[in-house]
C-alpha cells in the first residue's frame, strides 16, 4: 500500500492532496498539465519537501512531518524515470545500466544485467551511446537503469510524452512486461488517457493540486463527473475482454465482454487471451428499440443509470450492460428518445471504432 498526504505551496500553486492505493500494479496520476502530478511524485521521491504530511510505502515511512522523518532520496529505494531519460551522454548503454546498480544494497543486487537487458530488449544497444539512440530506446535504457537499482517503487513522470505513436506503443509494451514480470510497483504520471486506460490498475485523478477521485481504472474511466477535469477525450469505458474466436471470412475477432460479444477487426491473438478494451463515449450510439437492420455489429441491451450535465450540444449517458458504457450523444437526441435513469436502451458500438493495434499491444503481457 502506498499512502500519501502532502501539503506544500509554490508561489500561487498549492498542493494539498491525499490518497492510498494498492501497489500490485500501476497507479496512474492523471490530470491536465498544472494539476500537480509532477510536484506530487517529486515529494514521493524526496526531491521536494512538503510543509506537512506523511508518505509511506507499506510499513516503511518515507516522510512524516509530525514524527520528524524525512529520508534522503537515496535512502528511499525509489527509482525515477523522467520524461527526457537523463542518461549520461559520455557512457555507453551498458555503463549507464551498471551505474544504476551502485544504488542497490549489496545484499539485493540480484537484478543481473542480462535479465534487465532481456526484459527491455536492449541486447543490440549495449555498446552505443545515448546520442545515437532513438527517443524510445533512450527511455528503455532509463527504465533499465532504474531497475538495476533494485527499487521498491518506480516513479515514471510522463515517460512517453516526447515519443511518436509507434515508439510510444513499443515502450508501453516494455512497461507492461516490467509490471508483470518484476513485481515492482509503479506510479505513472500522464495526461494521456490512452496510456492510462491501457496501463493502470488504479487511477488517481488530480486537479488544481488536489485529488479529485481515486479508484480502480474501470470505475474511474466510467464516471461522468470527471470529464471536465480529465478532458473531453477521456470519456469512455474500459472493458475486460477475452478472445473467443476469429471470423476469418470477414477479418473479425469476437471478444467476450460483460454483457455479450464485442466484434472488432481481426486480432493476432489466440482464443482465451485476456486483454483490456477502451470504448470511447463518442463511438457509442443509443436506441430505445432493438435495431433490426443496421450496419453496426455490436448491440448491447442495457439500462440508463446516469445522465451527465449538458455541455454545449452534447450530453454523456452512462448505460449498464453488465458493466458501464458511456455514450456521448446530442442533448436533442437524449430529449427526443426520452432518456432518463432506468430507461431500457440498446448501446451500439461500431466495430471499426475499436483500434485493433491498441488491443494487441494491451494483451502482450497477459499469460
Contact 205/220 with Cβ under 8 angstroms? yes
* Cell numbers representing residue 228 in the block: 471536465
Mean pLDDT for the chain overall: 88
Cell numbers for 120, please give them. Answer: 527491455
The residue among 1, 21, 23, 37 whose CA lies nearest residue 210 is 37
Neighbours of 10 (CB within 10 A): 11
pLDDT-derived band of residue 345, with 50, 70 and 90 as boundaries?
very high
pLDDT given at position 366: 41
Can you give the pLDDT at residue 284?
Answer: 94
Check residue 358 and give its pLDDT: 55
Please report, in angstroms and rounded to a whole number, the separation of the first and last CA atoms in the chain: 25
Residues 230 and 326: their CA atoms lie apart, in Å, by: 15
In the numeric block, the cell 549489496 is attached to 106
* Neighbour-count burial of 12, counting CB atoms closer than 10 A to its CB (0-12 exposed, 13-18 middle, 19+ buried): exposed
- Does the structure show a pLDDT above 70 at 362? no
Query: How large is the average pLDDT for residues 150-175?
Result: 87
| In the predicted structure, residue 198 carries a pLDDT above the cut 60 | yes
Q: How confident is the model at residue 34 (pLDDT cuts 50, 70, 90)?
A: confident
DSSP class of 308: -
- Spatial separation of the C-alpha atoms in residues 328 and 281, rounded to whole Å: 5
Give me the domains of the chain, ranges plus CATH numbers: 2-232 (3.40.50.300), 237-363 (2.40.50.100)
Distance (Å) of CA 316 to CA 125, 224, 232: 48, 7, 10
Phi, psi values for residue 276, rounded to 5°: -115, 135
What is the mean pLDDT of the segment spanning 341-355? 90
What is the C-alpha separation between 325 and 267, in angstroms, rounded?
Answer: 22
Determine the Cα–Cα distance for residues 157 and 82; give it in Å rounded to an integer.
5
Number of CB atoms found within 10 A of residue 274's CB: 16
Residue 333: all three cell numbers together? 437526441
User: What value does the mean pLDDT take over residues 151-175?
Assistant: 87
**Residue 49 pLDDT greater than 90, yes or no:** yes
Q: Return the pLDDT at 114.
A: 84
Task: Report the share of the chain in percent with pLDDT over 90.
Answer: 51
Q: Which residues face 54 on adjacent strands? A: 5, 64
Q: pLDDT tens across 212-251, in order? A: 989 988 888 878 777 666 555 667 888 889 999 999 999 9
Q: Which residue has the cell 493495434?
A: 357
In which band, very low, low, confident or very high, does the pLDDT at 177 lie, cut at 50, 70 and 90? confident
- Round to whole Å and give the CA distance between 206 and 217: 14
Can you read off the three cell numbers belonging to residue 149?
537499482
Average pLDDT over residues 117-139: 90
| Residue 342 near residue 302, CB atoms below 8 Å | no
pLDDT of the residue at 222: 79
pLDDT of residue 41: 94
pLDDT value, residue 230: 59
pLDDT band, very low/low/confident/very high, at 28 (cuts 50, 70, 90) = very high
With residue 172 as reference, give the H or E element that holds it: helix 165-182
**pLDDT on residue 197:** 83
pLDDT level of residue 363 (50, 70, 90 thresholds): very low
CA geometry: angle 31, 220, 332, nearest 5 deg: 90
The per-residue b/e assignment along 167-181, b for 16 or more CB within 10 angstroms, e otherwise, is bbbbbbbbbbebbee
Cβ 147 vs Cβ 99: under 8 Å: no
Predicted local distance difference test score (pLDDT) of residue 237: 85
Instruction: Tell me the three cell numbers of residue 347.
Output: 448501446
Crossing angle for the helix pair 165-182 and 356-363, to the nearest 10 degrees: 30
How far is 265 from 252, CA to CA, in rounded Å? Answer: 5
Entry pTM: 0.81
Share of the chain above pLDDT 70, in %: 93
Sheet of 324-330: strand order equals: 284-287, 344-349, 298-307, 314-320, 324-330
| Three-state DSSP string of 276-290 | EEEEEHHHEEEECCC
Q: What is the pLDDT of residues 245-296, one digit of tens each?
A: 999 999 999 999 988 999 999 988 899 988 888 888 999 999 999 998 899 9
Query: Region 14-39: what's the mean pLDDT?
Result: 90
pLDDT at 361: 47
Amino acid at each position: 500500500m502506498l499512502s500519501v498526504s502532502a501539503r506544500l505551496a509554490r508561489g500561487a500553486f498549492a498542493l494539498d492532496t491525499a490518497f492510498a492505493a494498492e501497489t500490485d500494479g500501476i497507479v496512474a496520476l492523471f490530470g491536465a498539465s498544472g494539476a500537480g502530478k509532477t510536484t506530487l511524485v517529486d515529494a514521493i521521491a524526496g526531491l521536494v519537501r512538503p510543509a506537512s504530511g506523511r508518505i509511506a510505502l507499506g510499513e516503511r515511512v518515507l516522510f512524516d512531518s509530525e514524527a520528524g522523518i524525512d529520508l534522503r532520496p537515496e535512502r528511499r529505494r525509489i527509482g525515477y524515470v523522467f520524461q527526457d531519460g537523463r542518461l549520461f551522454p559520455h557512457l555507453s548503454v551498458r555503463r549507464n545500466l551498471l551505474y544504476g546498480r551502485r544504488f542497490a544494497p549489496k545484499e539485493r543486487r540480484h537484478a543481473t544485467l542480462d535479465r534487465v537487458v532481456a526484459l527491455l530488449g536492449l541486447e543490440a544497444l549495449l555498446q552505443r551511446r545515448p546520442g545515437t539512440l532513438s527517443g524510445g530506446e533512450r527511455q528503455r535504457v532509463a527504465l533499465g537503469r532504474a531497475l538495476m537499482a533494485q527499487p521498491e517503487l518506480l516513479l515514471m513522470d510522463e515517460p512517453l510524452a516526447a515519443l511518436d505513436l509507434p515508439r510510444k506503443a513499443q515502450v508501453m509494451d516494455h512497461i507492461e512486461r516490467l509490471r508483470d514480470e518484476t513485481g515492482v510497483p509503479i506510479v505513472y504520471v500522464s495526461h494521456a488517457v490512452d496510456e492510462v486506460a491501457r496501463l493502470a490498475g488504479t487511477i488517481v485523478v488530480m486537479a488544481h493540486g488536489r485529488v479529485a477521485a481515486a479508484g480502480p481504472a474501470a470505475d474511474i474511466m466510467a464516471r461522468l463527473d470527471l470529464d471536465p477535469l480529465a478532458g473531453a477525450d477521456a470519456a469512455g469505458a474500459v472493458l475486460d475482454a477475452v478472445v473467443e474466436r476469429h471470423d476469418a471470412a470477414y477479418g473479425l475477432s469476437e471478444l467476450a465482454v460483460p454483457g455479450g460479444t464485442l466484434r472488432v477487426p481481426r486480432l493476432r491473438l489466440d482464443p482465451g487471451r485476456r486483454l483490456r478494451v477502451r470504448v470511447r463515449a463518442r463511438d457509442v450510439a443509443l436506441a430505445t428499440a432493438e435495431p433490426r437492420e443496421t450496419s453496426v455489429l455490436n448491440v448491447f441491451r442495457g439500462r440508463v443509470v446516469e445522465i451527465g450535465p449538458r455541455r454545449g450540444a452534447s450530453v454523456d449517458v452512462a448505460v449498464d450492460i453488465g458493466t458501464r458504457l458511456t455514450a456521448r450523444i446530442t442533448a436533442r437526441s437524449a430529449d427526443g428518445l426520452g432518456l432518463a435513469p432506468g430507461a431500457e436502451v440498446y448501446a451500439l458500438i461500431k466495430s471499426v471504432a475499436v483500434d485493433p493495434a491498441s488491443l494487441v499491444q494491451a494483451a502482450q503481457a497477459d499469460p
